[in-house]
Amino acid sequence: MKKVILFVIDALASNVLVPAIDDNLLPHFKALTQQGIFREKCISIFPSITPAALSSIITGQYPVKTEVPGDYWYDEDMDTVNYIGGDFSTIMGGGIETFLRDFLVNLNDRFLKVDTLFETLEKANIPTG
């Protein structure tokens, strides 16, 4: 079975990365691109906000399906604001307890509306890390 390592680096655009690799400024990245698969033409979902983007990566679905639209959002059905990211002042405004509960528990248990890659593999009895 092939092993996979996915690197996600926030805000790293290929128009910055590729020239740096070509100019030999990033030898380790260059080695990774030569030994693995590098998709130069990939684009992010919109909005390109970490929790929404990572939810899309791990589920293969757009935010409209994952129902994780950003760092924080108002949930009309529950009449709550969900915090799973954002800047420090936003997190503190909503309360650190709320942020930790939403980020560590609710993101997978309540917010994501589709199975993650890990859940899909588990159902197929394929081990994951």
User: pTM for this structure?
Assistant: 0.74
Residues 104 and 59 in one domain: yes
Say if residue 61 is in the same domain as residue 34. Answer: no
Is 3 domain-assigned?
Answer: no
Per the structure, how many domains does the chain have?
2
Please give the residue range of the domain that contains residue 22: 12-43
3 state DSSP class of 99: helix
| Residue 55 sits in the same domain as residue 111 | yes
Q: Encode the chain (129 residues) as per-residue pLDDT tens digits.
A: 777 777 777 778 888 999 999 999 999 999 999 998 888 887 778 878 888 988 999 999 999 999 999 888 898 988 988 888 778 887 888 888 888 888 888 888 889 999 999 899 999 998 887
- CA distances in angstroms from 28 to 22, 23, 34, listed in the order given: 12, 13, 10
Question: Does one domain contain both 83 and 103?
Answer: yes
In a domain, 17, yes or no: yes
**Helix residue ranges per DSSP H, the chain:** 14-22, 27-35, 50-59, 63-66, 88-94, 96-101, 117-123
